[in-house]
Amino acid sequence: MVNFSFSDEQEYFRAMLREFSQSELLPHYTKWDRENTHPRHLWKKLGELGVNGLRIPEAFGGSGAECVTTGIAAEEIGRGDFNLTYGVMLNALISEILTNHATDQLKRTWLPEIANGNKIMGIAITEPAAGTDAAGIRSTAVHKGDKYILNGEKSGISVATIGDAFIVFAKTDLNSGSKGISAFVVPADLPGVECKGYEDMGNVPIGRGSIYLTDVEVPEENLIGLENNGFFQVMNGFDLSRLLIGLQCAGAAFQSLDETIEHVKTRHAFGKPLAKNQGVSFPIVTHYTQLELIKWQAYRGLWLRDKNKKHSKEASSVKWLGPKYAQEAIHECMLLNGHYAYTKEMPLEQRLRDVIGLEIGDGTAQANQMVIARELIGKEFKPY
Ligand SMILES: Cc1cc2nc3c(=O)[nH]c(=O)nc-3n(C[C@H](O)[C@H](O)[C@H](O)COP(=O)(O)OP(=O)(O)OC[C@H]3O[C@@H](n4cnc5c(N)ncnc54)[C@H](O)[C@@H]3O)c2cc1C
């Protein structure tokens, strides 16, 4: 049996978030970018609405909702404020990693605070010399007594300047590649942790930056799961974040299309509405169609995850083409709105800048094509 419908509860959740996103997020979306500030109160508001704790079990302050429901949140928040979708995606990714692998003590300390929006946690894998090749990281964690001593540099990390803690990946065995990496919860206020922000093209309120670790003493209880297992613990989480990213981007692009459809129906040129020209309507149709394909592939991937079925190639297809199709759609919307859309009076130029960031973050097009090729053609044909 195939059933493409959402439950009544999910439809209600979508309608509630649509209303919130349109009335409370959209009118201020550009403000945080222009002022270079992070709206922490809105992150908390997402906590009140139950968005931050969707993938957190009820016992730890969340709702234990399905991945499909989390996708609805990513799409709807993406319509109002693309940058706040980091609250959906990062929280879902991090909550799953902690729920599945951390000690009860770590879960009790962090999960309720993530769910209510009081604390923001980031995930720090990338380094100056290791991005796509994540197993090539050089940060180290040395077990000494009841602590691990962390040293290294993390780069490109979302929420670097606003995060309260980070899941940091470091080598615990220098000679074992991906099998020598461990993950730790590192509070941002530990001595030896220094975070510096970037001047990014987009995603400005998210405070991306570098994290410098100098002889940071991390209690051994902060190790997540087993030593040397960190890489494999997070790789599974990426299948979730990649599907959510596709929906975040689709949400921002669908909103742009809706705004543009209104514009081309009311704006006249050569004595008729712009929409009467197929040179105007067909690009809109093309982008709408591409985004619908992404949306349904994303929900299918999330459904597969909810059913504990394989979904890596679905997730990678959505991560590869979702941000790409979304930025192409938003770009076209900008052009169809004419010169005003090139000003900062309108949100389109910002949406374009914001969405492009996630063509890189969480894996580039090529990184995701490698995942699909591995599954489609076979591991024995990996290039490395
Ligand atoms: C908005 C944003 C948010 C981010 N947030 C985080 C975060 O929260 N945490 C975190 O750890 N990191 C984060 N990152 C970093 C991101 O994960 C990396 O930038 C990404 O994995 C690519 O790594 P790199 O920049 O080092 O590029 P490189 O790995 O140097 O790649 C450069 C180019 O070469 C291509 N390439 C590399 N290897 C191959 C290959 N084998 N075959 C074909 N092409 C290849 C890549 O696709 C890319 O186009 C973020 C980045 C951005 C832009």
Q: Could you list the pLDDT tens digit for every one of the 384 residues in the chain?
A: 888 899 999 999 999 999 999 999 999 999 999 999 999 999 999 999 999 999 999 999 999 999 999 999 999 999 999 999 999 999 999 999 999 999 999 999 999 999 999 999 999 999 999 999 999 999 999 999 999 999 999 999 999 999 999 999 999 999 998 999 999 999 999 999 999 999 999 999 999 999 999 999 999 999 999 999 998 888 889 999 999 999 999 999 999 999 999 999 999 999 999 999 999 999 999 999 999 999 999 999 999 999 999 999 999 999 999 999 999 999 999 999 999 999 999 999 999 999 999 999 999 999 999 999 999 999 998 877
pLDDT at residue 342, rounded to an integer? 96
Residue identified by tokens 């139950």 is 50
Residue linked to tokens 């065995």 = 173
Q: Which ligand 1 atom is at minimum distance from the Cα of 365?
A: 47
User: What confidence score (pLDDT) does residue 37 get?
Assistant: 95
| pTM listed for this prediction | 0.97
Give phi and psi for 229, each to the nearest 5. Answer: -110, 0
Res 235: pLDDT: 80
pLDDT number for residue 107: 98
Residue with the smallest CA separation from ligand 1 atom 26 is 131
Provide the token pair at 261.
């459809």
What is the per-residue pLDDT for 248? 98
Cβ-based burial of 174 (10 A; exposed 0-12, middle 13-18, buried ≥19): exposed
- What was the pLDDT predicted at 2? 84
**By alpha-carbon position, which residue is closest to atom 23 of ligand 1?**
131
205 lines ligand 1 (CB under 6 A): no
β-pairing, 272-273 vs 147-157, is unpaired
Q: Distance (Å, rounded) from C-alpha 25 to C-alpha 90?
A: 19
Among 51, 108, 143, 70, which Cα is nearest to 305's?
Answer: 70
Given this model, what pLDDT does residue 234 score?
Answer: 81
Give dist(CA 44, CA 66) in Å, integer. Answer: 21
- What Cα–Cα distance (Å) separates residue 219 from each residue in 123, 144, 190, 273? 18, 10, 11, 65
Are 301 and 315 in contact by the 8 Å Cβ rule? The answer is: yes
pLDDT on residue 163: 98
DSSP-assigned states of every residue in 349-377? HHHHHHHHHTTTTTS-HHHHHHHHHHHHH
Domains of the chain (ranges; CATH) run 8-120 (1.10.540.10), 122-228 (2.40.110.10), 231-381 (1.20.140.10)
Mutate to test the pocket of ligand 1, among 198, 210, 360, 369 (most ligand atoms within 8 A of CB): 360
Cα of 130 vs centre of ligand 1, distance in Å, is: 8
